């Protein structure tokens, strides 16, 4: 059945919105309609965390809590979920939630503008973990900026949560689960203010919609797409929301390749990929923030085709393929053949990426490096990825790819040719470094100058081979 009413749990009750504006952000809904003004707007582009809210989702008779940036999520995406805002944390008798008490006790707030966002990020961490070490804490607040308190007192507050593990949400869990079961998400079709919004629940439904309306714009996590509304101040007229399709939220491995369904959030993938390619996990840990990775997808990163999309050089060096579907066709394409120009791909109207296939190289060495101005929540200046085998002291099966070095993420073909079948000597690496000038002519922009980019690209190549030769990591931050 298809509905035009969005249903979600708010303040322990079922909340309904009839035919909402598909371009209205959750942040605006909370502040302007629910009149809950604790949640703040800072940047309106997912970068500061002031708007962080927590979404509860029913998964196998349990509730999974996810911190998200409400400024870049549209209201219809609340269908079938629980919405928690900072006002929900305090009890009716005025008692503070353990996260709030810890922030007070450890002086984690000064002007207070960022505080609701930090509280909600820490609340999500509190609910999803049993203990909190410094790494978990730092990761949990990597998407929250504070301009005045500084982070040390906030981290101290978070550490103190190790001693306090019970809250009202734990006590109400059964009731919330039964409410979530009552509002099991339905397929949605909204036609409001001249805008159409479809949220199918199956691939079959998706294909029927595409057949009828081939010009709809696909929306997954919305971490790129929503900025059309919040930053460019334009409307997205016709949306087809993919993240409602659970069928595409999967990761499988068949010995030859790992297959990642299009709606799989990056946060789920980053945990899975660690045992295959640990540097992939390390790069994803620095990809946006927890709020971003809780909703953003790799398919969205690929379709965006940004030259500085972080997963792209890694996938290129692993020689990944994408599965592209339309209402009546399914094809597989190597990612290296997918990008055709600056933010241009081979995707045609009505075609969507249904999954990504990443080969499993059991004997290869895989390395990836991201250079950005900040460690957390920053886009790459240069991202480099290396995949190779060493057989009888010779370099074999080598694939190198860079982001930030051209108008598209690209393999370093000349460099690969020099290294293939060579010994791992300094002379060869120096020659390979020089060949990068044939592979790439980077540009100057606000992130880096062309000279800096080239220098970094060469240095990362050298770093990769020093790490391989010395058999140890040369890294500052982990």
Ligand X SMILES: Cc1cc2nc3c(=O)[nH]c(=O)nc-3n(C[C@H](O)[C@H](O)[C@H](O)COP(=O)(O)OP(=O)(O)OC[C@H]3O[C@@H](n4cnc5c(N)ncnc54)[C@H](O)[C@@H]3O)c2cc1C
The residue with its CB nearest to ligand X is 300
Residue 222 interacts with ligand FES (CB under 6 A)? Answer: no
Q: Which does 461 bind (CB under 5 to 8 A by kind): ligand FES, ligand X, none?
A: none
Stretch that binds ligand FES, among 43-51, 178-186, 201-209, 377-385 (CB under 6 A): 43-51
Q: Which does 300 bind (CB under 5 to 8 A by kind): ligand X, ligand FES, none?
A: ligand X
Nearer to ligand FES, 33 or 147 (CB): 147
Q: Which two tokens stand for residue 43?
A: 């940047």
Sign of CA dihedral 88, 93, 94, 97: negative
- CB of 398 vs ligand X, minimal distance in Å: 24
Q: Which does 109 bind (CB under 5 to 8 A by kind): ligand X, ligand FES, none?
A: ligand FES
β-strand partners of 322: 333, 356
Q: Which of 147, 159, 138, 149 is nearest to 377 (CA)?
A: 138
Q: Which does 44 bind (CB under 5 to 8 A by kind): ligand FES, ligand X, none?
A: ligand FES
Nearer to ligand X, 183 or 448 (CB): 448
Nearer to ligand FES, 28 or 243 (CB): 28
- Site of tokens 């500084």: 150
Residue 112 interacts with ligand FES (CB under 6 A)? Answer: yes
Q: By CB under 6 A, how many residues form the interface with ligand FES?
A: 23
Q: Which does 242 bind (CB under 5 to 8 A by kind): ligand FES, ligand X, none?
A: ligand X
Q: Which does 114 bind (CB under 5 to 8 A by kind): ligand FES, ligand X, none?
A: ligand FES
- CB of 244 vs ligand FES, minimal distance in Å: 22
Rg of the chain on CA atoms, in Å:
23
Q: Which does 112 bind (CB under 5 to 8 A by kind): ligand FES, ligand X, none?
A: ligand FES
Residue 114 interacts with ligand FES (CB under 6 A)? Answer: yes
Q: Where are the beta strands (DSSP E) in 328-457?
A: 330-334, 339-341, 344-345, 352-359, 365-371, 382-391, 394-403, 410-411
Nearer to ligand X, 56 or 222 (CB): 222
Q: Which two tokens stand for residue 168?
A: 């009202």
Residue 111 interacts with ligand FES (CB under 6 A)? Answer: yes
C-alpha–C-alpha distance, residues 34 and 210, integer Å: 34
Q: Which two tokens stand for residue 277?
A: 């390619």
Confirm if 27 and 70 have CB atoms less than 8 A apart: yes
Residue 44 interacts with ligand FES (CB under 6 A)? Answer: yes
Cα 137 to the chain's mean position, in Å? 18
Residue 43 interacts with ligand FES (CB under 6 A)? Answer: yes
Nearer to ligand X, 171 or 233 (CB): 233
Residue 41 interacts with ligand FES (CB under 6 A)? Answer: yes
Nearer to ligand FES, 42 or 265 (CB): 42
Task: Give me the 50-79 binding string for ligand FES, x by CB under 6 A, dash otherwise.
Answer: xx-----------------x-x--------
User: How does 328-360 read in b/e, with b if 16+ C-beta sit within 10 Å?
Assistant: eeeeeeebbebbeeeeebebeebbbbbbbbbee
Q: Which does 400 bind (CB under 5 to 8 A by kind): ligand FES, ligand X, none?
A: none
Nearer to ligand X, 306 or 422 (CB): 306
Query: What number of CA atoms fall less than 13 Å from residue 367's CA on the CB side?
Result: 20
Nearer to ligand X, 217 or 426 (CB): 217
- CB of 253 vs ligand X, minimal distance in Å: 20
C-alpha–C-alpha distance, residues 243 and 254, integer Å: 24
Confirm if 189 and 4 have CB atoms less than 8 A apart: yes
C-alpha–C-alpha distance, residues 99 and 375, integer Å: 26
Q: Torsion angle of alpha carbons 461, 463, 468, 473, nearest 10°? A: -140
Confirm if 233 and 191 have CB atoms less than 8 A apart: no
**Angle ∠(294,138,274) on CA atoms, nearest 5:** 55
- CB of 116 vs ligand FES, minimal distance in Å: 10
DSSP, collapsed to helix, strand or coil, labels residue 282 as helix
**Which residue in 148, 271, 391, 473 binds ligand FES (CB under 6 A)?**
148
Residue 335 interacts with ligand FES (CB under 6 A)? Answer: no
Q: How many CB atoms lie within 10 A of CB 320?
A: 23
DSSP, collapsed to helix, strand or coil, labels residue 336 as helix
Q: Which residues bind ligand X (CB under 6 A)?
A: 45-47, 72, 217-225, 242, 262, 287-288, 292, 296-297, 299-301, 303-304, 309-310, 347, 352-353, 377, 379
Q: Which of 15, 13, 195, 16 is nearest to 5 (CA)?
A: 16
Query: What number of CA atoms fall less than 13 Å from residue 446's CA on the CB side?
Result: 2
- CB of 89 vs ligand FES, minimal distance in Å: 17
Which helix H or strand E contains 464, and what residues bound it? helix 450-470
Contact footprint for ligand FES (CB under 6 A): 41-44, 46-51, 69, 71, 109-115, 146-149
């Amino acid at each position: 059945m298809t509905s035009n009413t969005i249903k979600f749990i708010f303040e322990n009750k079922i909340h309904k919105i009839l035919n909402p504006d598909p371009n209205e952000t959750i942040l605006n809904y909370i502040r302007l309609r629910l009149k809950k003004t604790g949640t703040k707007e800072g940047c309106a582009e997912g970068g500061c965390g002031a708007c962080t809210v927590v979404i509860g989702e029913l998964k196998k008779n349990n509730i999974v809590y996810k911190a998200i940036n409400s400024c870049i999520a549209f209201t219809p995406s609340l269908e079938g979920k629980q919405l928690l805002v900072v006002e929900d944390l305090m009890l009716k008798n005025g008692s503070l939630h353990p996260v709030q008490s810890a922030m007070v006790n450890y002086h984690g707030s000064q002007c207070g503008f960022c505080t609701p966002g930090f509280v909600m990020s820490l609340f999500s961490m509190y609910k999803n973990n049993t203990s909190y070490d410094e790494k978990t804490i730092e990761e949990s607040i990597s998407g929250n900026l504070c301009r005045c308190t500084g982070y040390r007192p906030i981290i101290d507050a978070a550490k103190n949560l190790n001693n306090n593990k019970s809250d009202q949400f734990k006590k109400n869990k059964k009731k919330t689960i039964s409410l979530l079961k009552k509002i099991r998400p339905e397929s949605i079709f909204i036609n409001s203010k001249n805008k159409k919004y479809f949220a199918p629940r199956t691939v079959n439904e998706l294909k029927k919609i595409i057949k009828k309306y081939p010009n709809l714009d696909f929306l997954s996590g919305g971490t790129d797409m929503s900025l059309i509304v919040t930053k460019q101040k334009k409307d997205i007229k016709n949306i087809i929301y993919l993240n409602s399709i659970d069928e595409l939220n999967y990761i499988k491995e068949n010995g030859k390749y790992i297959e990642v369904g299009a709606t799989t959030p990056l946060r789920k993938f980053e945990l899975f990929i660690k045992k295959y390619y640990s540097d992939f996990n390390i790069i994803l840990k620095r990809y946006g923030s927890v709020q971003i990775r809780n909703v953003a997808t790799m398919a969205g990163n690929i379709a965006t085709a940004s030259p500085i999309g972080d997963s792209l050089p890694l996938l290129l060096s692993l020689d990944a393929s994408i599965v592209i579907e339309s209402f009546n066709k399914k094809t597989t394409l190597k990612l290296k053949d997918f990008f055709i120009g600056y933010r241009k791909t081979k995707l045609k109207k009505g075609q969507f990426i249904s999954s990504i296939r990443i080969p499993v190289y059991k004997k290869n060495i895989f390395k990836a490096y991201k250079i950005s101005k900040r460690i957390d929540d920053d886009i790459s200046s240069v991202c480099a990825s290396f995949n190779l085998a060493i057989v009888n002291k010779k370099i074999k099966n080598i694939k190198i790819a860079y982001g930030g070095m051209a108008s598209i993420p690209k393999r370093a073909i000349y460099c690969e040719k020099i290294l293939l079948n060579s010994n791992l000597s300094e002379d060869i690496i120096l020659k390979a470094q020089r060949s990068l000038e044939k592979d790439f002519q980077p540009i100057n922009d606000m992130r880096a100058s062309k000279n800096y980019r080239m220098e970094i690209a060469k240095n990362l190549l050298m770093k990769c081979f020093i790490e391989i030769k010395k058999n140890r990591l040369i890294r500052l931050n982990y």
